[in-house]
Amino acid sequence: MIYPVVLAGLQGGTLPATSDVIPSHFCADGCIESRFQSVLQSLDHPMFAAPTVVACEAHRFVAMQQMEAACMAGDLIIEPCRSKSAALLAALALRFQDEPEALLLILPAHHAGTEGEAFRRAVENALQSAFRGDLVLLADTQPTGYGQLRALSRMQSRQPVQALFSAGAASSVEDPRSYSNSGVYLVRAGSLLAAFKRFAPRLLQSTKRAVCDMRAGAGFLRLAPQAYGRITADSFEAVILSRMETVSAICAEAGPDASVVGCRDPQLPERIWARVPPQGMAQKHAA
């Protein structure tokens, strides 16, 4: 069973964290469902457990109403502020610490590529690598804002390949081994926790307090505002992915001879590509 986690919090600094301004992933065009609801509908499949949804305090009722409209049950975790993806995923890893073999599928609420068999097929093809302990990224052929990935080898779309991170926008020179990072990740809970222990132990320790003081009420699970508010607003890509030597990556749109790639946060400084020996995350991140 795969446990989906839909990140529907308020990201970036362009919108105020108030209920008067609704993030685009909650907005429906006419009578069409919102992007958030489309993502939820794509998870209505026997391979997925009920999703965990994360939203900010100001939009908690919008998230709840749209989950109910989509007939989708699941936990609704509330961040007291703008999204802090590093702290948030650390909190999720801690929530699953008693189930280290659980597979987490982490995806943004605005993701546009979850519909159809291609997405589920890519997830199925990534299962073996994820069970082995790798952090598997879903690569995209379109710019996404989550950074760029570069494969260490060419492959068919049936299995992930080892890949490197790069920050910034895509190069003007077309690279057949480069893709964008979609922000979709498949990883074992134990491997995710091990990554935080290795690369961000202080952040993990700070997050523990916010999780221990989490409160349930009115259908929500609230991360402790005071403890969570003290954690830096760093992204998962900056704190974890940028520090990994390699990741595994697969592309739902890959053809029979396509290559796939890995990612870094686009806000990080550019760096020169460095080739390192591929290793499984389970070997590198032993708890």
165-189 pLDDT tens trace: 775 555 544 677 778 788 899 999 9
Confidence of residue 259 (pLDDT cuts 50, 70, 90): very low
Confidence of residue 83 (pLDDT cuts 50, 70, 90): confident
Rounded-to-integer distance, Cα 111 and Cα 228, Å = 26
Provide the residue count of the chain. Answer: 287
Full 3-state SS string of the chain? CEEEEEECCCCCCCCCCCCCCCCHHHCCCCCCCCHHHHHHHHCCCCCECCCEEEEEHHHHHHHHHHHHHCCCCCCEEEECCCCCHHHHHHHHHHHCCCCCCCEEEEEECCCCCCCCHHHHHHHHHHHHHHHHCCCEEEEECCCCCCCEEEECCECCCCCCEEEEEECCCCCCCCCCCEEEEEEEEEEEHHHHHHHHHHHCHHHHHHHHHHHHCCEEECCEEECCHHHHHCCCCCCHHHHCHHHCCCEEEEECCCCCCCECCCCCCCCCCCCCCCCCCCCCHHHHCCC
Among 41-50, 97-106, 137-146, 188-197, which stretch is predicted with the lowest mean pLDDT? Answer: 137-146
pLDDT exceeds cutoff 90 at 212: yes
Rounded-to-integer distance, Cα 80 and Cα 17, Å = 10
Look at strands 220-222 and 215-217 and give their pairing.
Answer: antiparallel
CATH number at residue 135: 3.90.550.10
Rounded-to-integer distance, Cα 140 and Cα 221, Å = 32
Rounded-to-integer distance, Cα 111 and Cα 105, Å = 13
Read off the pLDDT of each residue in 242-249 and give the average, rounded to a whole number. Answer: 89
Structure tokens at 208: 């523990």
Rounded-to-integer distance, Cα 18 and Cα 37, Å = 21
Domain that includes residue 103, residue range: 2-284
Tell me the one-letter amino acid at 192.
L
Rounded-to-integer distance, Cα 25 and Cα 2, Å = 23
Confidence of residue 277 (pLDDT cuts 50, 70, 90): very low
CA 191 from centre of chain: 14
Domain total in the chain: 1
pLDDT at position 278: 33
Cα 104-282-156 angle, rounded to 5 deg: 75
Read off the pLDDT of each residue in 148-169 and give the average, rounded to a whole number. Answer: 75
Among 14-23, 43-52, 160-169, 188-197, which stretch is predicted with the lowest mean pLDDT? Answer: 14-23
Structure tokens at 135: 């952090």
Read off the pLDDT of each residue in 133-155 and give the average, rounded to a whole number. Answer: 80
pLDDT exceeds cutoff 50 at 156: yes
Q: 249 and 260 in contact (C-beta within 8 Å)?
A: yes
Q: What is the mean pLDDT of the chain?
A: 79
pLDDT tens, 4-31? 999 998 765 544 455 457 778 888 766 5
This prediction has a pTM of 0.81
Among 58-67, 142-151, 213-222, which stretch is predicted with the lowest mean pLDDT? Answer: 142-151
